[in-house]
Structure 1
Amino acid sequence: MNHAIHNSIVNFIWGIADDVLRDVYVRGKYRDVILPMTVIRRLDALLEPTKEKVLVMKAQLDEAGIANQHAALCQAAGEAFYNVSPFTLRDLKSRAKLQQLRADFEAYLDGFSPNVQEILDKFKFRNQIPTLIEADILGHLIDKFLDTRINLSPRPVQDMDGNERLPALDNHAMGTIFEELIRRFNEENNEEAGEHFTPRDVVRLMADLIFLPIADEIESGTYLVYDGACGTGGMLTVAEERLAELAASHGKEVSIHLFGQEVQPETYAIAKADLLLKGEGGGAENIKYGSTLSSSDPFLSQEFDFMLSNPPYGKSWKSDVDRLGGKDDIKDLRFVTHHGGDPAYKMITRSSDGQLMFLVNNLAKMKPTTRLGSRIAEVHNGSSLFTGDAGQGESNIRRWIIENDWLEAIIALPENMFYNTGIATYIWVLTNRKREKRRGKVQLIDASEWFVPLRRNLGKKNRELTEEHIRAICDLVVTPVETEQSKIFPNEAFGYWKVTVDRPLRLAVDLSPARLERFERTCAKSKEEPLANLARRVAGVLGAGPHLDFNAFMDACGADAKAHGIKLTAKRKKLLQSELCDTREDAAPVLKKVHRPDKATPDPIHGLFKIELPSPRGRGAGGEGKIHVVEFEPDTALRDSEQVPLLEEGGIEAFFRREVLPYTPDAWIDPAKIQIGYEISFTHHFYKPAPMRTLEAIKADIYALEQETEGLLEQIVGEAER
């Protein structure tokens, strides 16, 4: 289509808002009228030639008592939709009385087929009719859309001599015009645009990232493209155009089917209307309304060849969590799987940000058996790279992806690329059919400095990618090489063991009169007077202290309890410890468990220590003064954790000996608490420290300041003398 004609139509429709809606609607609400009216006028133009056929068919079907009329009426209309009202927009143009115009216009809208009714309902367009009637602008609005200076019909407009005055507007051109109107309205409402509108330069890059690496392998056939957060559908249509273009350039014939889901009513209506305007009635039926995460999955058994998404990030999905049964009870097989030996491996992020859940949803819809498998491109902010500790949902998702070798590349985009946020964003590229040279590896590309400034800001977007930038990024993905902006790592480079490091609890026992008196008051409140008497007797034997061996104290308490018929329960032991003891670095470690030497192997790194136990503890474990293997009670206040890289030479033990034991020789690792986590740090891999200034440069600045100061001082003194 001629770009001049394209722009003239867009400008004319854009101008209708100022001509008709000003002083009735605020600018931010123009779209509520203009977008649905553009859809209505285009549908009306498509249906005009077959209007009589549809009405005749409707009468015949009613007379025959046929209830299911949709297919027959679509066939009569020659489209995937129809209108069975007696009116066209041109019929309504002559209505002078407002109430008659309102009644006829509502009857006209009611005559559309169910798929159009859904679009009108989601636009909430009927809610605008009272305002349009009250302001007496509905007729003027209809006149504007029927203006003879523009043609929204698929047939050319001819002059009196039969020459073409206005060219025909095919479905593709109409869809492009509609998308341009959407883009302009999104720019007007830039505070919301980023929620459902991805800039076209980013979409083009995403499409190329999933298609170009396998462009030579595309065969003639059918391909399914999916977007689980499709917004207005722009990402799907760009992907469709790019795939068709690449297939044609390789001499292949492809049939492309689009699928999507959207939770915002208006943007869902726009996506569905856009496909209808492009003549893709079947595709419009594949756009589903509702939450991708919590609704009954409309594509539960469907698998897709290509998937692109820009999911909402930093946005709560708590309502979805609640609908799924609560975080601890989610059973959805998209988000709970078998991995790493865990049959119920959970990939559920914190409820404050569900962006990675959309990626998991896409990965659950990959084709596992086809030659090309599936390819995915998805936009995320930086938190998806590192948020979440080992064992938490976000880290589990990264682990699941990387250990399955699905992550191909991550590209860091420039800041200020989107309309409603200036933060850093990243494109994840994934596939379940990595090429041989990519297997077991992940590529990171820092394209954060590749941009050109916009001539004027679009919301917070003030940068864009040129075709050269897109080509440079895609070249690095198609032919992965190491450069200053491109680095390639083994999958394990992003993984780590989270190791819990414990140190022994060391308690000093205070049996001073003041402490015992306080203990007696506590025992009186909890009705544990026998325990207070026990403490008094033990203090009489051991003295006031402080005693640096808690184990000897407990042995004495045990002996006294046995002698006086007192049951020393776990609760009573806890009370003695909490009320009579204080942590002290020079005290002996508190014993947790004693093993016989022939039953346990000493392993200090994992908390099994070999020591000689005195009486009576030694007697109870096999004899006085014998060497035993023991475990110590950990001091939770001293508990720490370390991240040990999966690529650490010698593994956890070598790291522990080198980085922990030289500084805390009594520390050990709790093997039951070791977890695997994954995180990706662009800053770590691409950080460039600012070069240090030379001494000569610093000295020069100091001398310059001194000279400037002396000059000012002379000036001040001179003025004072005058």
Structure 2
Amino acid sequence: MIAFPKFIRIQTSSQKHSRIATMEPSQLSCMDMKTSLDKAGIVHQDAALRQAAGQAFCNTSKFTLRDLRSRASQQQLRADFEAYLDGFSPNVQDILENFEFRNQIPRLSKADALGTLIEKLLDTSINLGPNPVLNADGSVKHPGLDNHAMGTIFEELVRRFNEENNEEAGEHWTPRDAVKLMAKLILLPVANEIESGTYLLYDGACGTGGMVTVAEETLQQIAAEHGKQVATHLYGQEINAETYAICKADLLLKGEGDAADNIVGGPEHSTLSNDAFPSREFDFMLSNPPYGKSWKSDLERMGGKDGIKDPRFVIEHAGDPEYSLLTRSSDGQMLFLANMLSKMKRSTKLGSRIAEVHNGSSLFTGDAGQGESNIRRWIIENDWLEAIVALPLNMFYNTGIATYIWVLTNRKPAHRKGRVQLIDATQWFKPLRKNLGKKNCELSEEDINRICETFLKFEETEQSKIFPNEAFGYWKVTVERPLRLKGIDANRAYTPKEIKALKETAERDETAPPVIKKIHKRGVEPDPLRGMFEAVLPAPSRSGASDLPPSP
């Protein structure tokens, strides 16, 4: 699969309204500025050049794509096209590098297809840019392609080329209907509390950036409806090079250069082992982390389970200074949630609000004392979990498994304190006329509003159940009891081999004397052989006398 960067595509919209038309004068300005900076001996030129271009990126090459159509030979065309790419600013170079776009040029040139590609990029009948192409009368000739439309194209390409790769399930992209629901679930409850000011949004597995951009749009809309003016800063981290490149390109092309600089990505930038924002705290966070995907390579880079000291995953809780949130290496999805929880604002009125998509394993995987269970216990004992929403099956493009939205905040309103709402939205959907991969349904606006209304009302209904936090905890006790069997000689010690045979043939009797195991160390008294039996008991009330810790 050859993936062409969105940035290159975007230079081809149409006639006077196209990016190519506006790029040419900006290139002249950049070239003039570069000449002046070179003469002055200024080395760091990027900011000045972008300012001269009047946009978030620039190109100091003497070529435009339109110029390259006249090249007579493939050799000259390839050389000039590479020079054209070399003229872009460092932020675009980063995009090209993560697309590995230059690796495709020799293949295209050898196949005599580079000129054809450039013609396609200059085709006036299509618009792959974010802004609409207009007719002379101002009507829309070609609508713009927003982030989610580009994400849909990318996801469809990925699906077609990776249908048999089960490891990738849930990894790539979240459909727009699910994202809109997530954005509303974290923003509508505080719509009346949003003040004019600056808000930070974050996604630790940002993909093409759809979640933070939709959340930004929703926040701006809610603020405007309440007469407030808000500024937003978007932050994200993404390990997949191509999706990261799409995200960054999209922001650059919308003029959000600062936001593009706050998106960090590529194979060396795993959120789990290489946190790009260790000291940042965010107002609103959304994410769809990969589920069922191994994080063993991250674990090794971090020093193994015994060597990890990352304060996001080894914390102080319930009197334990090294309370571990480390999950099984075969599935790291809950660690993305722990990462977000570590970035909550603790000193603001609104605190932080989080929405994250998980599959069903996050609800029950992990025994008491293990990482997944510890994360759930940590969340519930801090009273951060507001609700879990069960989504319809087959909502996502490349997986048909059950998915759930977790909604969390460190500023629960009084009527929600100490309680968790479970919403069954599995039957609220609209069937698609044609399947998109495994996605055969979507949430209509009516469905989204119905889910949000159920969430905001916080009432018991057939689809909404409310439980106290204690209902999600339990006590796990190991009861040690001597092994007692009928016909045992109380004055004799038995060998391990004899005990094994007795277990298979003798009848248990709680009134019989304990079996004594024969040991072979002089001066050591025989001990009863103790069998281990697990018992799961209901959690007592917080005022109970037991000092054992509950484990959700």
The letter for the 2-side match of 1:54 is C
Aligned to 1:500: 478
Aligned to 1:677: 551
1:452 to 424, 427, 430: 430
The letter for the 2-side match of 1:262 is E
The letter for the 1-side match of 2:496 is S
Distance 1:408 1:157 in 2: 44
Report deviation, 1:154: 9.6
Distance 2:249 2:222 in 1: 26
Distance 1:327 1:175 in 2: 44
The size of the alignment, in residue pairs, is 524
| More off after superposition, 219-228 vs 464-473 | 464-473
CA contact (8 A) 2:384 2:410 kept: yes
CA RMSD of aligned residues (A): 2.8
Distance 2:382 2:171 in 1: 30
Aligned to 2:9: 38
1:51 to 27, 40, 44: 27
**Unaligned 5+ residue runs, structure 2?**
14-18, 518-525
Deviations 1:44-93 (CA, angstroms, capped at 9, x unpaired) = 45432222221111111111211111111111111121111111111112
Deviations 1:424-451 (CA, angstroms, capped at 9, x unpaired) = 1100000000000001110001111111
Aligned to 2:496: 578
2:337 to 349, 353, 359: 359
1:633 matched to 2:528? The reply is yes
Q: Does the residue aligned with 1:129 lie in a helix, a strand or coil?
A: helix
Report deviation, 1:155: 9.9
1:270/1:155 Cα in 2 relative to 1: closer, same or farther (>3 Å)?
closer
Distance 2:391 2:133 in 1: 46
Distance 1:424 1:140 in 2: 44
Distance 1:153 1:462 in 2: 28
Distance 2:399 2:384 in 1: 29
Aligned to 1:258: 234
Aligned to 1:621: none
Which TM-score applies when normalising by structure 1?
0.68
Distance 1:279 1:439 in 2: 42
Distance 2:467 2:437 in 1: 36
1:78/1:140 Cα in 2 relative to 1: closer, same or farther (>3 Å)?
same
Report deviation, 1:590: 5.0
Distance 1:201 1:633 in 2: 62
1:96/1:500 Cα in 2 relative to 1: closer, same or farther (>3 Å)?
same
1:588 to 489, 513, 520: 513
CA contact (8 A) 1:196 1:230 kept: no
Report deviation, 1:215: 0.6
The letter for the 2-side match of 1:428 is W
**Unaligned 5+ residue runs, structure 1?**
1-28, 509-545, 555-575, 593-630, 654-670, 679-722
1:128 to 94, 100, 104: 104
CA contact (8 A) 1:416 1:461 kept: yes
Aligned positions of 1:221-240 closer than 5 A? 221-240=197-216
CA contact (8 A) 1:318 1:351 kept: yes
1:372 to 350, 358, 369: 350
Deviations 1:231-268 (CA, angstroms, capped at 9, x unpaired) = 11111111111111111111110001110000000011
The letter for the 2-side match of 1:366 is M
Distance 2:542 2:175 in 1: 45
CA contact (8 A) 1:203 1:235 kept: yes
Report deviation, 1:547: 5.3
1:548 to 481, 489, 496: 489
1:95/1:194 Cα in 2 relative to 1: closer, same or farther (>3 Å)?
farther
Distance 1:158 1:409 in 2: 45
Greater helix share, structure number: 1
Distance 1:154 1:296 in 2: 31
Which TM-score applies when normalising by structure 2?
0.89
1:342/1:138 Cα in 2 relative to 1: closer, same or farther (>3 Å)?
same
CA contact (8 A) 1:151 1:166 kept: no
> Which protein shows a greater Rg?
1
1:345 matched to 2:286? The reply is no
Report deviation, 1:166: 7.4
Report deviation, 1:469: 1.1
The letter for the 1-side match of 2:339 is N
| More off after superposition, 101-110 vs 91-100 | 91-100
| More off after superposition, 580-589 vs 209-218 | 580-589
Aligned to 2:16: none
Aligned to 1:109: 85
CA contact (8 A) 2:394 2:441 kept: yes
Aligned positions of 1:428-443 closer than 5 A? 428-443=406-421
Aligned to 2:521: none
Distance 2:485 2:419 in 1: 50
| More off after superposition, 224-233 vs 185-194 | 185-194
Aligned to 1:25: none
The letter for the 2-side match of 1:455 is R
CA contact (8 A) 1:45 1:153 kept: no
1:246 matched to 2:222? The reply is yes
1:319/1:34 Cα in 2 relative to 1: closer, same or farther (>3 Å)?
closer
Report deviation, 1:381: 0.3
CA contact (8 A) 1:45 1:154 kept: no
CA contact (8 A) 1:206 1:427 kept: yes
1:303/1:34 Cα in 2 relative to 1: closer, same or farther (>3 Å)?
closer
Deviations 1:245-293 (CA, angstroms, capped at 9, x unpaired) = 1111111100011100000000110110111111101100000014444
CA contact (8 A) 1:412 1:448 kept: yes
1:195 to 150, 164, 171: 171
Distance 1:158 1:487 in 2: 50
The letter for the 1-side match of 2:385 is L
CA contact (8 A) 1:175 1:274 kept: no
Aligned to 1:643: 536
Distance 2:154 2:100 in 1: 17
Q: Does the residue aligned with 2:232 lie in a helix, a strand or coil?
A: strand
Q: Does the residue aligned with 2:357 lie in a helix, a strand or coil?
A: strand
Report deviation, 1:151: 6.4
The letter for the 1-side match of 2:30 is V
1:457/1:87 Cα in 2 relative to 1: closer, same or farther (>3 Å)?
same
Distance 2:398 2:92 in 1: 31
1:347/1:580 Cα in 2 relative to 1: closer, same or farther (>3 Å)?
same
1:55/1:493 Cα in 2 relative to 1: closer, same or farther (>3 Å)?
same
Q: Does the residue aligned with 1:217 lie in a helix, a strand or coil?
A: coil
Distance 1:675 1:54 in 2: 64
1:333 matched to 2:317? The reply is no
Distance 1:351 1:297 in 2: 18
1:313 matched to 2:294? The reply is no
Deviations 1:144-187 (CA, angstroms, capped at 9, x unpaired) = 3223445678999899xxx5577699xxx7451x5423313422
CA contact (8 A) 2:5 2:99 kept: no
Aligned to 2:520: none
Aligned to 2:523: none
Report deviation, 1:455: 0.6
Distance 2:549 2:535 in 1: 11
1:150/1:62 Cα in 2 relative to 1: closer, same or farther (>3 Å)?
same
1:473 matched to 2:451? The reply is yes
Deviations 1:463-482 (CA, angstroms, capped at 9, x unpaired) = 11111111111112112000
